[in-house]
Every structure is written in C-alpha cells, then in structure tokens.
C-alpha cells in the first residue's frame, strides 16, 4: 500500500539523519583534537520501479566516509619532536603494544601529526602509544639504501639521552715558518719541535711530534730540513721514544721569485707526498692521517724565511667525546643529535608514506590509519621528494573540523529529522481516518 511505504520511507529518513547527526557530533566533539579528520554522511535515494499509475516510496540509505585528505592548519609548539606533515604524505608509526611483544614485527600505521617524546627506553612515543619509525643512519651519518615498498628498513626511533659522541682526527693543516738562518754554514743547527694534539677513533687525546732538523753545510746555505713525525700512540723504543711514522727531506726555494716556499719533498719513510695538494699521508695508530704542509711553491704551509721559528697556524678536524644536548628534526626528516662539543650527527631519517587513495585508509585510534586494498599499496618517499611535502618540527596539525559549517549542518539535520517525523505523524492520522470509515 502506497501510504504504508510513505511511513517506511520516513522511518529510513529518521535513521539517515540520525547517522548524519552522529558524524556531526563526532566532528564537533573533536574540533580541538590535533590531526582529526572530518567524517561526513552521504545520502543516496532508493528507487524501485512500480506499475504505471502507482508509486511506492522506498526511502534513503546513507554511507559515511572520513576525509583524510583534508588538512588542518599548523600551529607552533615548543617541543622539537612535535611533528606535522606540510603537504602530501604521512608519518610512519607503530604501536607501543606491538613493541612490548618483542618479536620484531611492528605493524605500519600512518599519521599526519604527533607529539613524540622519549620514553623510559628512549623511544620517541606519543601519549597515545604511537612510536615513530625511521631509517637508521650508518656510522658516518649517511642513510643506506632501503626498500621503498616495504617496512623492512624501518625501526623504532630510539634516542639515548646519555649517549656520547666524538670524531676522530683525519687531517692536520700545518702553517709553520722555519728559520732560514739555521741552514747556513756556521749555525749550531738547533732542532725545532712542535707537538700537535689529535683525537683517536675512541675520542681519546693523542699527540703527533714534529721535529725539524736543519742541514748545516760547510759553506753557504743548504735550505734543507729533515722532518721526523712520531705518534704518541705507536710503539716505543728502549728509551721510551715513540716510533717514527713519517720521515721526509724538505728543500726550500731560495730564488728571488719563490724564496722561502717548498721546492721539493723527498720521502724517506712513511706515506707519499702529493705536490699538488700539499698533503702527505702517515699511518697513525688509528688509521691513515693527512698532514697538509703546503703545495710546492705555495706560501701557505711550511715556509723558510728570516731567523725565527714560528707556528703560524695549526688546524685539524676531529673532536673529543661530548654529551648529547638536544635533538632536532629538519624538513627532510633527518633526526640530528647535537653534542656539547659543537658537533651534530645524523641518527635517523624519517620517510613520508604515500598511497594512491588516501581516503581509502582505515581509520584507527589516536588519529592513525592503516593501509587497505581500497587505499592502494604504499611507497616510502624522502620528505620533499616526489609528490610528498616536508616535515615541520615544533608544530602540530589542528583538527580539520569547521565548527561553523558543522553547526549549520546540525540545523539542517534537525529540520530534516523533524520533517520525517511529521510525515510519520501525518501517515498515522491518515490511517486513523481510514479506520474510521467503518463507523
């Protein structure tokens, strides 16, 4: 009966508007939730063909969806590990519960923002239990190749607040003036010495000893010196003197155009001298080390001028061991640790995860999502590369809810619900009239 179908259609209308009211209330209640994505309810009419001259109301059905591709505004915070994605892409995270199992299999979840802080074990974890994932860097700070379509290369990011770091010295630049008068006939030929500190592979302090011995001729000037280099970490002889790690004969130019500069370097023992770069290589206890004494004909490095021994400049790389002071995450997702000795080191890189259909992801707790067949397969991009945006630290993403728009939709839903209830009331009155015909 057509009049009965009207009631059924209005009942479905009540149910549909109740579903829409649920999504509206969910959106409004999460208007202050960081990273929340707005839920929507879509209505679709149902049509069943009837015979000519009659019409049967079928009603309405609903479907709900979460608009994950809508992004909220970014707001600044004071925590360097508060992260938000600016643009396309999502942060890889896993659950704290899976890590507590300890079987090494951590599921991949996605989120667009999170406030991550080190827990008791140093893992960067949100209050809700999401642990940030990243690719660990090699010892030299480079990021190795890893599979982009798998989570095999991702590990939970762990920051040890008590960790130490140091850098070994691999290069020393010497700018020293040797007295030209020491290579003249009749001079006593004093040996000039110089000690240079360096740091070994374990961050401990060691020393290189440089001894410059002039060649004193019978007549005239030789302009020649012998350079002997000893390493404090090498073996010592019976007198407690470290072994020689390099021995060279230095010849200086005495002509008017290039007077005082290196003219030739002959290797007696140790690594070779490169006349183009001015570097000679010696083998210290921790490995090879470059000693830059200056290129041939260059005024930078070793010189022989006047009558004074003068170390002009001594510079080197490497640092002693230092303590961790802070953690920073840059726009490309590199997690850098800063130490009190003035160095910083890359510990991890956080990739951004992208899928073809973002709205096809499965919504989970804590504003996290999971890859589904509807979303398509994921791919791990470097932040700022390909279609992805970049990572912003000291920031959170606000809720995507527009409260004014939701309140407007709330009014519309209320009116629609009341109208459907009115139809049911009208049908009831009409059925009552039908019943009264018998009287």
* pLDDT 10s digits, 411-428: 999 998 898 888 888 888
Among 347, 311, 320, residue whose Cα is nearest residue 143: 347
Q: Does 192 lie in the same domain as 151?
A: no
DSSP E strands, 343-426: 344-349, 352-354, 362-363, 369-370, 379-381, 390-393, 395-397
Q: Does 154 lie in the same domain as 221?
A: no
pLDDT above 80 for 156: yes
pLDDT above 60 for 1: no
How many domains does the chain fold into?
3
Q: Does 244 lie in the same domain as 111?
A: no
Q: Does 334 lie in the same domain as 298?
A: no
Q: Does 6 lie in the same domain as 63?
A: yes
d(CA 122, CA 119): 5
Q: Does 419 lie in the same domain as 369?
A: no
Question: What's 205's domain CATH number?
Answer: 2.60.98.20
Location of structure tokens 């090879």? 288
Q: Does 184 lie in the same domain as 80?
A: no
d(CA 208, CA 214): 20
d(CA 421, CA 148): 55
Q: Does 194 lie in the same domain as 131?
A: no
pLDDT at 17: 87
pLDDT above 80 for 47: no
Q: Does 189 lie in the same domain as 96?
A: no
Taking CA atoms, 248 is separated from 94, 103, 214, 244, 270, in Å, by 59, 59, 12, 11, 8
pLDDT above 60 for 134: yes
Last residue of a domain, one of 317, 350, 384: 317
- Which pTM does this prediction carry? 0.71
Last residue of a domain, one of 317, 332, 363: 317
Last residue of a domain, one of 317, 347, 365: 317
What is the pLDDT averaged over residues 31-56?
Answer: 79
Rounded to a whole number of angstroms, the CA Rg of the chain reads 38
Taking CA atoms, 21 is separated from 17, 28, 188, in Å, by 6, 10, 102
Q: Does 312 lie in the same domain as 187?
A: yes
d(CA 279, CA 304): 18
Q: Name the pLDDT band for 50 (thresholds 50, 70, 90).
A: low
pLDDT at 424: 83
Q: Does 291 lie in the same domain as 188?
A: yes
The pLDDT mean for the chain works out to: 90
- Render pLDDT for 363-411 as a digit per residue (tens, 0 to 9): 999 999 999 999 999 999 999 998 999 999 999 999 999 999 999 999 9
d(CA 328, CA 136): 15
pLDDT at 203: 81
Q: Give the residue numbers spanning the domain of 309.
A: 169-317
Percent of the chain with pLDDT over 70: 95
Structure tokens, 326 = 């802070």
Q: Does 106 lie in the same domain as 57?
A: no
């Amino acid at each position: 009966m057509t009049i009965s179908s009207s009631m059924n259609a209005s009942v479905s209308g009540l149910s549909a508007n109740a579903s829409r009211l649920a999504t509206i209330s969910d959106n409004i209640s999460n208007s202050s939730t960081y990273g929340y994505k707005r839920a929507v309810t879509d209505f679709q009419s149902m049509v069943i063909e009837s015979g000519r001259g009659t019409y049967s109301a079928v009603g309405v059905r609903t479907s709900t969806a979460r608009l994950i591709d809508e992004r909220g505004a970014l707001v600044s915070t004071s925590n360097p590990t508060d992260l938000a994605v600016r643009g396309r892409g999502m942060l890889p995270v896993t659950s704290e519960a899976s890590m507590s199992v300890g079987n090494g299999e951590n599921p991949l979840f996605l989120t667009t923002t999170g406030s991550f802080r080190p827990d008791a074990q140093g893992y960067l974890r949100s209050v809700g239990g999401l642990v940030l994932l990243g690719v660990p860097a090699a010892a030299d700070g480079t990021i190795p190749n890893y599979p982009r379509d798998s989570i095999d290369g991702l590990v939970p990011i762990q920051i040890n607040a008590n960790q130490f770091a140091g850098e070994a010295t691999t290069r020393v630049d010497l700018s020293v003036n040797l007295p030209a008068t020491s290579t003249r006939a009749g001079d006593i030929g004093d040996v000039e010495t110089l000690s240079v500190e360096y740091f070994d592979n374990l961050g401990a302090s060691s020393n290189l000893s440089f001894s410059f011995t002039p060649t004193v001729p019978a007549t005239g000037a030789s302009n020649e010196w012998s350079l002997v280099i000893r390493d404090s970490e090498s073996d010592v002889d019976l007198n407690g003197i470290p072994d020689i790690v390099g021995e060279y004969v230095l010849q200086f130019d005495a002509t008017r155009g290039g007077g005082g500069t290196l003219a030739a370097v002959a290797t007696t023992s140790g690594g070779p001298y490169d006349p183009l770069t001015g570097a000679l290589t010696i083998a210290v206890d921790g490995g090879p080390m470059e000693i830059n004494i200056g290129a041939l004909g260059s005024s930078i490095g070793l010189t022989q001028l006047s009558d004074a021994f003068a170390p002009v400049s001594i510079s080197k790389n490497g640092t002693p061991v230092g303590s961790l002071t802070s953690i920073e995450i840059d726009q490309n997702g590199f997690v850098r640790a800063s130490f009190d000795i003035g160095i910083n080191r890359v510990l991890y890189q956080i990739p951004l995860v992208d899928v073809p259909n973002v709205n096809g992801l499965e919504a989970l707790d804590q504003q996290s999502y999971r890859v589904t067949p509807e979303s398509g397969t994921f791919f791990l991009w470097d932040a700022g590369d390909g279609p992805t945006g970049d990572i912003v630290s000291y920031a959170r993403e606000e809720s995507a809810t527009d409260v004014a728009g939701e309140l407007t939709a709330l009014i519309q839903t209320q009116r629609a619900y009341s109208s459907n209830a009115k139809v049911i009331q009208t049908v009831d009155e009409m059925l009552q009239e039908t019943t009264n015909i018998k009287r």
